[in-house]
Amino acid sequence: MNKPSNTFDIAIEPSFDFLSPEYAELFDRSAATAFQHPVWLHSLYTRLAPETGATALVVVVRYRDTGTLAMVLPLLRIRRGPIRTVEFADLRVSDYLAPVCSPDVFSRLLDDTAACAQIRRLVRPFDLLRMAKLPDGRLPIENLLATSRRVSMNTNAYATVLVAPYEQWRASAMDRSYQKELAKKYRQLQKKGALSFSCCSDGAAVLEAMDVMRKFRGPRFHAQGDGDLLQRPEYYGFYSDVAVRGLGSFVRLYAMKMDGEVIAAVLGLCHRGSFLVIMSAFDIAGYKSQSIGALMFEQVARDCIERGDQMLDFTIGDEPYKKSFGAQPSPVWEVTQVGSAVGAIVLFGLKQAPWLKLAAKRLSDLKVQPAHTATPTR
């Protein structure tokens, strides 16, 4: 017989309000990441999930005696062809995924056998449960959901520690020769016209920069044989909504202009003293010899330091340029659990033939784009 927890009330709330004061309070005292921020998850569930065929699976845990939120587990049910999957609320836009809960409350949940059993029942049925992009050193969700042990993904996250003043960080993080090279190219860039760098301060400036980012990123990713999420209306709408809603607090959108025209932009999230880069775009064709991308990130680092940030987080991806700014790698993890014979076959296939992951990714996009279109990437 399934006994309920004596301490917690646990339920699925598909229409949970991520902009509510109670969630904001829970998020502030939790060990969650920027990608569980109220604005981020509100836009993901209300704008992006319906367009991609995903169904909200929001596990909400409250204290029985007070009704106060104890944990929110933001999940999605996604059908990938014939496969029923349960995943974190990601949809290829989030870099770090975590339960929204404080470490001490999470420990209390793990000690509550009835609560754990109830959560595991509520997330079923599924063929495959997969939780990827788990940051290093975060809450052990594998213990809560009784999944397999976490394994390292085939990629890392990269972040560089910022110190003031900017000149000290630059000297410690970057090779001296690289510093000289960028200084030379910055002088070259200044000679081309009126150069400016700023952080967007209003909605009009945000939408201008977003439009330019979409324009620059399209040919770049198409040339690499892949597509770009920003080219799809539902994803462009998601990022624009987050940028406008979070401007001045949760979001920064930097723009570099030449004679008043945007030539480079970087979109990122602000969270607990860190600036997390989530998207960038540069006029590579017009300024290829000036290393405009590197110059832009140098200016972003300067501004972050002046604002008092302690970390510039380049998030997930093993691009070589990140190490040029002193960024160090850290592992990201994933856990899985099968819920049927079909799920076991799929998981075995993914482990034996990694190329199937690409096929699975393409399969996941069939609902929202024509079959002949290449799968986009962020």
Q: Where are the domains of the chain?
A: 8-155+331-377, 163-309
**Helices (H), strands (E): how many in the chain?**
14, 14
pTM above 0.85, yes or no: yes
Q: Using the CB atoms, write b or e for 67-104: b if 16+ within 10 Å.
A: eebbbbbbbbbbebeebbbbbbbbbebbbbbbbbbbee
Residues 132-141: pLDDT tens digits? 999 988 899 9
Note the residue count of the chain.
378
For residue 363, give the 3-state DSSP assignment.
helix
The answer to whether domain 8-155+331-377 and domain 163-309 are alike in fold is yes
CATH homologous superfamily of domain 8-155+331-377? Answer: Gcn5-related N-acetyltransferase (GNAT) (3.40.630.30)
Torsion of CA 52, 56, 57, 60, to 10 degrees: 150
How would you classify the pairing of strands 69-80 and 83-88? antiparallel
- Fill in the DSSP letter of residue 232: S
Predicted local distance difference test score (pLDDT) of residue 226: 56
Q: Using the CB atoms, write b or e for 307-337: b if 16+ within 10 Å.
A: eebebbbbbbeeeeebbbbbbeeeebbbbbb
- Fill in the DSSP letter of residue 361: H
Predicted local distance difference test score (pLDDT) of residue 357: 52
Give the contacts of 141 (CB within 8 A, at least 6 positions apart). Answer: 98, 99, 131, 134, 147, 335
For residue 178, give the 3-state DSSP assignment.
helix
CA 186 to chain centre: 30
Predicted local distance difference test score (pLDDT) of residue 351: 67
Give the contacts of 39 (CB within 8 A, at least 6 positions apart). Answer: 19, 242, 245, 246, 250, 251
Predicted local distance difference test score (pLDDT) of residue 355: 46
Q: Which residues pair with 336 in a beta bridge?
A: 130
Q: Which residue type does 111 have?
A: D
Predicted local distance difference test score (pLDDT) of residue 224: 54
Residues 230-256: pLDDT tens digits? 999 999 999 999 999 999 899 999 999
Average pLDDT in the chain: 90
- Residue ranges in 191-268 assigned as alpha helix (H): 203-223, 233-246
Count CB atoms within 10 A of the CB of residue 202.
11
Q: What does the alpha-carbon distance between residue 18 and residue 68 come to, in Å, rounded to a whole number? A: 15
What's the rounded mean pLDDT across residues 158-165?
98
Structure tokens at 154: 């085939």
What's the rounded mean pLDDT across residues 299-311?
98
Tell me the percentage of the chain whose pLDDT exceeds 90: 81
Cis, peptide link before residue 125, omega less than 30° from 0: yes
- Fill in the DSSP letter of residue 300: H
Q: What does the alpha-carbon distance between residue 22 and residue 34 come to, in Å, rounded to a whole number? A: 17
Structure tokens at 318: 């093993």
Q: How far apart are the two ends of the chain, measured CA to CA in Å?
A: 46
For residue 131, give the 3-state DSSP assignment.
strand
pLDDT at 370 over 80: no
Structure tokens at 198: 């700023």
For residue 140, give the 3-state DSSP assignment.
coil
pLDDT at 159 over 60: yes
Predicted local distance difference test score (pLDDT) of residue 373: 31
Please state which of the ranges 21-30, 74-83, 201-210, 352-361 shows the lowest mean pLDDT: 352-361
Predicted local distance difference test score (pLDDT) of residue 375: 34
Say yes or no: domain 163-309 is CATH 3.40.630.30: yes
Identify whether the C-beta of residue 128 lies closer than 8 Å to the C-beta of residue 338: yes
